[in-house]
Structure 1
């Protein structure tokens, strides 16, 4: 049986090389692309992102990716956001007092973490609820790799949400319908990240 097709979208922001390799190792037939039709047709679409919410959202909008993400979410076609690629799926982000509209397939707001040490950088555990597909086969002691200063903190209605704590609790991963996302970098999270990506890709078939 052919591997599921995965479009890793290049809109100018993201850790593309390591994400590409990790998605391939997890069983995907991965294409790095900036083509919207490819993003529409793929079994799964991955939205990467590093840096600032506003800059990533500007790249998403400039390439027309926001409309494709909304189309896929409405049609039940899987989307996976990673790091700031997760954040831009929410309705808005706030940085330095400036509000930026997000893609809006998840209700909620991305705000600065409230912690003594910013950014939250390094390995941390994640508390996932029973039934969350991304975390199937992943124990509670497993650690994931984070690099961020902002996060969503309120669960969107009807979503399954995994949480992490740095200063206070925040959303580490979310699933609702066809939309999945992680604040951490699964491609940098060793065996636990590989299992998570494999779970997502196996769900595409």
Structure 2
């Protein structure tokens, strides 16, 4: 953040030079016998100062955009979690690992939903307790959202798994619904 402020201060200094024109004031205080730059040269100096100020403003904005891409904001985390909750409800799921629950599914959906919002490597989904509550947080965001997942056995049945002896079994599928609340679970 300090770099951004520094770039904007430098831009402000060049903007002041362009607007006030200290070169013109300096040359007017000197005796007329002294060699003075032409009005064209002074105008070119002002235009150059405006250009340099613009370059520093562009640099400051670019650095700030890079900082914003490297962190998640609180609203981006919440929006990505809500989008992930909606996508989880779209398809039936097979029950996941009992120790991790739906952590990997939620993390993948949040990353997909927040593709252009923050860095994918800075998202964290952790199971809270033994139920289906998950804390979702993004790197740089000072907030955590709680996603509560409820599962209901699907009316479509399940996935048929054939056995070696010709028999088979069925693995149940679940319809998931999720809600997102602010704060930790």
Interval containing the TM-score (normalised by the shorter chain):
under 0.3
Q: TM-score, normalised by structure 1?
A: 0.20
Q: Bigger radius of gyration, 1 or 2?
A: 2
